[in-house]
Structure 1
Amino acid sequence: MAQSVAAPAHSELLIKKSRFIGCVQSVPDRAAAQAVVAALRAEHPGAAHVCWALLAGGHSAAVDDGEPGGTAGRPMLDVLRHQDLEGVLATVVRYYGGVRLGAGGLVRAYTDCVAQALKSARKIPLVRLRTMVCAVPYGLEGLFRREIDAAGGSLQGVQHGEEVELSFGVAEVDAEALVARLNEAGQGRVSWRT
């Protein structure tokens, strides 16, 4: 099951006078990741590189930021994939210490920096939500609200017209059982919208 991180987790490594400052954190998408990277660049103007890797919303990114191709972003991304993470940004800020590490040394440094940050990160399982919409008679609104709440769902919207239209989200694994309970409670008076 895919996981994310509950809060940002940090690490710092010193390798042959180069300083590597790592962070893993939850982000919803690429735009949010780019905003975090921009803030890091502003916070560390003397850094030689701000490398990053992203797995979020079905998209991935691996940015070497001037390091030799494939020595920073891709290894960081591989660490995220190996841990089955989703919605996570890994960043490493490098202050160059004057000693070249070589391609293998860079790969190890960036990989270790992200792995160390992940060791201290609290991982949380990601729950896939299904959004559902149904229309019911007014007399069933209270019962449906209680059933949705009991299933761990969250009511997203209610519209009152000829009938009450309820829009709600529920964990994918609980959706079928909830639909069965609601259909039984509605006794044929529930219409589902797509």
Structure 2
Amino acid sequence: MTDHYLTISTPGEGLYTEKRSRFLAFAIHVESEEEIKEIVKKYQKNYYDARHVCYAYALGYDGERTRGVDAGEPSGTAGRPILGQIKSKKLTNVLVIVVRYYGGTPLGAANLGRAYQAAALEALSQAVTEEKIVTKKIRVSVPYTDVDAIMKVLREEGAEIFAREYDSREQHLTVTIPLNGVEYLCERLKKFYTVTIHIEDNEE
């Protein structure tokens, strides 16, 4: 199981022209489908006079949630080639929108697909790529008598303190740790019988 992924840290823009049709491309970092819907709506509004506003995205640290939208273009000529460029660069949490202004000359399916592909590639090439670590949040409840020992384990395993809470009997620590280190950290913590561990459901 991988504990890192590639995304973009800055937007990128591209322009491709084919037989007077202009393809304006935008690569944007995204975190959720709700965010994507809002961004697409904004571009549809801003480019209301364009013939097509097509897009594709990949989401999740494993890039498994994907979608390509042809937005009125012939099936498979827009969303699929845009998504293909995202996948070829092994990126995720990325949305690429390509706006087409029709130039008056039909391109044909093959040329159309290549145009969307080229525009998407240009936008992604202009963006800055960033490697991110996939982490899990773990909540650890520790009696005050064991706090020093537990803190030593957390430091040794590369866990970072995200939040602290206190009550009369225990200290409650929320820590983040790279995904591949979760199992071994939990094994070490379970040796302290007074410690309670809760693993959050979602990776970050």
Superposition TM-score, scaled by structure 2 size:
0.82
Q: What is the aligned partner in structure 2 of residue 115 from structure 1?
A: 121
Deviates more, 1:123-132 or 1:83-92: 123-132
Alignment of 1:13-32 (within 5 A): 13-32=16-35
| CA 16–127 in structure 1, closer or farther in 2 if over 3 Å, else same | same
User: Is residue 190 of structure 2 the alignment partner of residue 193 of structure 1?
Assistant: no
User: Is residue 43 of structure 2 the alignment partner of residue 40 of structure 1?
Assistant: yes
Quote the Cα distance in structure 2 between the aligned partners of 1:144 and 1:158.
15
Instruction: Name the structure where helix makes up a greater proportion of residues.
Output: 1
Quote the Cα distance in structure 2 between the aligned partners of 1:161 and 1:70.
61
Quote the Cα distance in structure 2 between the aligned partners of 1:182 and 1:12.
54
1:47·1:93 contact (CA, 8 Å) conserved in 2? Answer: yes
Deviates more, 1:145-154 or 1:158-167: 145-154
The answer to which structure, 1 or 2, has the higher relative contact order (CA under 8 A, 6+ apart) is 2
Quote the Cα distance in structure 2 between the aligned partners of 1:171 and 1:8.
26
Q: What is the aligned partner in structure 1 of residue 52 from structure 2?
A: 49
Q: Percent identity?
A: 29
2:159·2:175 contact (CA, 8 Å) conserved in 1? Answer: no
1:159·1:165 contact (CA, 8 Å) conserved in 2? Answer: yes
For the residue of structure 1 that corresponds to 2:104, the secondary structure is coil
Alignment of 1:93-132 (within 5 A): 93-132=99-138
How far 1:156 moved relative to its partner?
Answer: 3.7
Q: What is the aligned partner in structure 1 of residue 81 from structure 2?
A: 75
Structure 1: state its 5+ residue gaps.
Answer: none
Q: What is the aligned partner in structure 2 of residue 155 from structure 1?
A: 162
1:18·1:97 contact (CA, 8 Å) conserved in 2? Answer: yes
Quote the Cα distance in structure 2 between the aligned partners of 1:146 and 1:155.
16
2:21·2:103 contact (CA, 8 Å) conserved in 1? Answer: yes
2:5·2:134 contact (CA, 8 Å) conserved in 1? Answer: no
How far 1:49 moved relative to its partner?
Answer: 0.6
Deviates more, 1:74-83 or 1:33-42: 74-83
2:14·2:24 contact (CA, 8 Å) conserved in 1? Answer: yes
Deviates more, 1:76-85 or 1:108-117: 76-85
2:161·2:173 contact (CA, 8 Å) conserved in 1? Answer: no
Give the number of aligned pairs: 192
2:137·2:177 contact (CA, 8 Å) conserved in 1? Answer: yes
How far 1:162 moved relative to its partner?
Answer: 2.1
Quote the Cα distance in structure 1 between the aligned partners of 2:46 and 2:152.
48
Q: What is the aligned partner in structure 1 of residue 177 from structure 2?
A: 170
Quote the Cα distance in structure 2 between the aligned partners of 1:114 and 1:13.
9
Superposition TM-score, scaled by structure 1 size:
0.86
How far 1:138 moved relative to its partner?
Answer: 2.1
1:30·1:54 contact (CA, 8 Å) conserved in 2? Answer: no
How far 1:12 moved relative to its partner?
Answer: 1.0
2:50·2:99 contact (CA, 8 Å) conserved in 1? Answer: yes
CA shift digits 1:44-84 (9 cap, x unpaired): 12111100001113421110011111100011111112221
Q: What amino acid is aligned across from residue 176 of structure 2 in structure 1?
A: G
Quote the Cα distance in structure 1 between the aligned partners of 2:106 and 2:17.
13
Structure 2: state its 5+ residue gaps.
Answer: 200-204
Q: What is the aligned partner in structure 2 of residue 88 from structure 1?
A: 94
What's the C-alpha RMSD, in Å, of the aligned pairs?
A: 2.4
